[in-house]
Amino acid sequence: MNASPPLHSPSSLPEKKSGCGCCAGGCGTLFVAGLALLALLVFGGWWVYGLALDSITSFEPVTLQLEPVSDAQFAAANEKLMQVRSATASHESVTVAFTAADLNALIARHPDFEEMKGRVHVAMADSLLTLDLSVPLAAVPLPRLKHRWFNGQAIFGMAYSDGNFSFNLRSLGANGRKVPDSFFQGLTSAFDDSFNEGFDKSRQKNARSDEFWNDVKSIGVLDDQLIVTTKGNEGA
């Protein structure tokens, strides 16, 4: 189940494509919106809801700084992304490993990740994904969130297979406060269901995104890499 990069030359900027739009800003925002929704609902009651709202959300975003990205670093990360996209388009089977540096380079400089720029920073270790986030909560269907932001950190295991994501939430904190570990007990299944429902709706709105995901076999975090495997002829 959130960068002020250096300027780049026109030759290093790829043509904007929509084939993987959902795996860029859309899914990141969807994930955090789901986290915030569960975090607020678990407390229950209007008065307690208000306290929770003030504790884990903010009226202003923060700008997350990424490490400077060189042309060579961006080119290497973009080549991996294009390898995955090419494989899904031609129904070829490939396995591509993205490091946290690759993902941060794409967020910093790739136009398809523009919505995540300055809002998401990625780290990976011990087969866990750590996201530092600053994302708007206007899409969360709860009162008083239209102008609120989630500025925090989420640590989790993640896997994608057979068209569904599954998450193993380990830590969630915002505004200097950490959500108690007991919060996660019994909520994993509910969060997975909520996220996958939103993910399916997002795919249905974008035919090219849906086509891309139909050819992705699996995604998972192993050690300090995000491993993406495409289906090949199996998905044709």
Please tell me the predicted confidence (pLDDT) of residue 33: 59
Q: Structural domain boundaries of the chain?
A: 17-68+113-215
Please tell me the predicted confidence (pLDDT) of residue 170: 86
Please tell me the predicted confidence (pLDDT) of residue 53: 74
- Global model pTM greater than 0.85: no
SS3 for the chain, per residue?
CCCCCCCCCHHHCCCCCCCCHHHCHHHHHHHHHHHHHHHHHCCCCHHHHHHHHHHHCECCCCCCCCCCCCHHHHHHHHHHHHHHHHHHHHCCCCEEEEEHHHHHHHHHHCHHHHHHCCCEEEEEECCEEEEEEEEECCCCCCCCCCCCEEEEEEEEEEEEECCEEEEEEEEEEECCEECCHHHHCCCHHHHHHHHHHHHHHHHHCCHHHHHHHHCEEEEEEECCEEEEEECHHHHC
Mean pLDDT (10-residue bins), the chain, 236 residues: 36 39 48 57 54 80 89 96 93 96 94 88 95 84 81 90 88 79 69 82 78 91 95 72
